[in-house]
Amino acid sequence: QKEVEQDPGPLSVPEGAIVSLNCTYSNSAFQYFMWYRQYSRKGPELLMYTYSSGNKEDGRFTAQVDKSSKYISLFIRDSQPSDSATYLCAMSSGNTGKLIFGQGTTLQVKP
């Protein structure tokens, strides 16, 4: 079993839809959670960083962490074609700096 599980998709939605992306994890030592966006043949771009259970909002993006269920989510409101990319969840225990990534979910937002 992988430490971090993420459905690779692809996920296709119409412009303006609310997108929900999710990851589950098995290691209870994970304390820090991140979401990255990666466009084709580019480097990952840090979107959201959280370290506690609950919600964190930044513009159209909301990150949600449920440590009791070992489940994290990223919500994108009013999705745009420019949001079409691969979204990677990542997490760490904070002791070594090593990030463990999910496989990534490919999102396509259709105009």
Partner 1 sequence: NAGVMQNPRHLVRRRGQEARLRCSPMKGHSHVYWYRQLPEEGLKFMVYLQKENIIDESGMPKERFSAEFPKEGPSILRIQQVVRGDSAAYFCASSGQGSDEQYFGPGTRLTVT
Which positions lie near partner 1, rule CB under 8 A? 6, 32, 34, 36, 41-46, 49, 51, 88, 90, 92, 94, 96-104
Considering the complex, state which of residue 42 and residue 110 has its C-beta at the smaller distance from partner 1: 42
The answer to whether 81 and 107 have CB atoms below 8 angstroms apart is no
Q: Identify the burial level of 41 via C-beta atoms within 10 angstroms of its C-beta, where 0-12 means exposed, 13-18 middle and 19 or more buried.
A: exposed
**Strand 85-92 versus strand 71-76 pairing type:** unpaired
Considering the complex, state which of residue 84 and residue 105 has its C-beta at the smaller distance from partner 1: 105
Considering the complex, state which of residue 51 and residue 71 has its C-beta at the smaller distance from partner 1: 51
